[in-house]
Amino acid sequence: MKLSIRDLELQGKTVFIRVDFNVPLAAGGQEITSDKRIRASVPTIQYALEQGAGVILASHLGRPKGKPNPELSLKPCAVRLSDILQRPVKMAPDCIGSEVAAMKPAPGEILLLENLRFHAEEEKNDAEFSKKLASLADVYVNDAFGSAHRAHASTVGMIRYMPRAAAGLLMDKELEYLTKVTKNPPRPCVAILGGAKVSDKIDVIQNLMKFVDKLLIGGAMAYTFLKAKGEPVGNSLVENDKLDLASKLMAEAGDKLMLPVDHVVAAELKEGADCKTATTIPDGMMGLDIGEQTVARFASIISASESVIWNGPMGVFEKPPFDKGTVAIAKVVADSDVLSVVGGGDSEKAIKAAGVADKISHISTGGGASLEFLSGIELPGVAALTDK
């Protein structure tokens, strides 16, 4: 267990909170198109303020390649956060330096530092840069789960120079739910994996096989497994260099691993394309979604489970009609009254498209971080926090 912000004495202290304000911006960098990540940080910020702390917020935004880029400034985030909190948010001209140090927030005040990645030293986890960040505050809190798989100055390096480092409320929740479903999950425990490539999910598959009772595979990655079994896959997306690996994984998993038994197929991938359902994929056609029989089989297993881990869509859900399988599975998970943890951006979009986000136990905010967690990899930004 890691120290939580709730375990810290914050009265009169300056708290450095690493947040994830890596928000999508419209061209030109002035307009935020989704403030979901900013809103996700609000409970931790408000808690620190209520406890009498002065708050310094730090984040990266985009890939400025180690030098200032006005289009990737965090200024729009300061404006949006101020609107959400209905209180001033001061914007620093940089994230280190004497001018920034002079802006130290008094209790009840908020200062947002400029984009950490305007300095190449951030991603290099540079010791001197880490010290400069640490010198700004009394205590450290990481609430950016989406960056916890990166060993950068703001997620790992500066912690060496802080007396205590704790998880924020969002990070706490991520660790609680991801630990619940991976360390001692309510059983039967089912994992649903989708997406395009087996290669992206090798470590996840191998780790999940150690503790789940069933592993349901959908999405384009299923066709690599099916081809490895000798089944016809037509023009479906296949990683031909991963066929031996797919055979090995299936041999290791035995009857734990389940593949689609029917498919929604079409001659080309485009929205509104003519399609049909087939148990065998004909030549000249490609599998683009799981079929109704597969939905029914997967649904019966999910409904009988006690916990579900889901990462990756079941088809090309961005292009109807190939979204039906993913939406159907989302509704089954939501209606099954199970402990459900969904990770990855596409899975979250699917859950929201199905209108069932409020029925999922936890939707992870960190795509890459949640994948690494599910792979059994210790996240550097979590490992660096102070143990309870």
Q: Strands 276-278 and 286-290, how do they pair?
A: unpaired
pLDDT tens, per residue, the chain with 388 residues: 899 999 999 999 999 999 999 999 987 778 999 999 999 999 999 999 999 999 999 999 999 999 999 999 999 999 999 999 999 999 999 999 999 999 999 999 999 999 999 999 999 999 999 999 999 999 999 999 999 999 999 999 999 999 999 999 999 999 999 999 999 899 999 999 998 888 888 889 999 999 999 999 999 999 999 999 999 999 999 999 999 999 999 999 999 999 999 999 999 998 888 999 999 999 999 999 999 999 999 999 999 999 999 999 999 988 889 999 999 999 999 999 899 999 866 778 888 888 898 999 999 888 788 888 988 989 999 999 999 9
**Class at the top of the CATH hierarchy for domain 5-170:** alpha beta
- CA–CA separation, 365 and 37 (whole Å): 8
Q: Where are the domains of the chain?
A: 5-170, 184-374
Going through the chain in order, the beta strands assigned E by DSSP cover 14-18, 54-58, 90-91, 110-112, 139-142, 165-167, 189-193, 214-217, 257-258, 263-266, 276-278, 286-290, 307-311, 339-342, 362-363
**pLDDT score recorded for residue 122:** 98
**pLDDT score recorded for residue 251:** 95
**pLDDT score recorded for residue 44:** 98
**pLDDT score recorded for residue 59:** 98
The CATH homologous superfamily for domain 184-374 is Phosphoglycerate kinase, N-terminal domain (3.40.50.1260)
**pLDDT score recorded for residue 351:** 85
User: What is the sign, positive or negative, of the torsion defined by CA atoms of 325, 327, 329, 332?
Assistant: negative
Residue 203 is encoded by which pair of tokens? Answer: 């470590």
Q: For residue 199, which amino acid is it? A: S
Positions marked catalytic = 37, 197, 345, 368
Asked if the domains 5-170 and 184-374 are classified in one and the same CATH topology, the answer is yes
Quick: pLDDT tens for 265-311: 999 998 888 999 999 999 999 999 999 999 999 999 999 999 999 99
Overall size of the chain counted in residues = 388
**pLDDT score recorded for residue 300:** 97
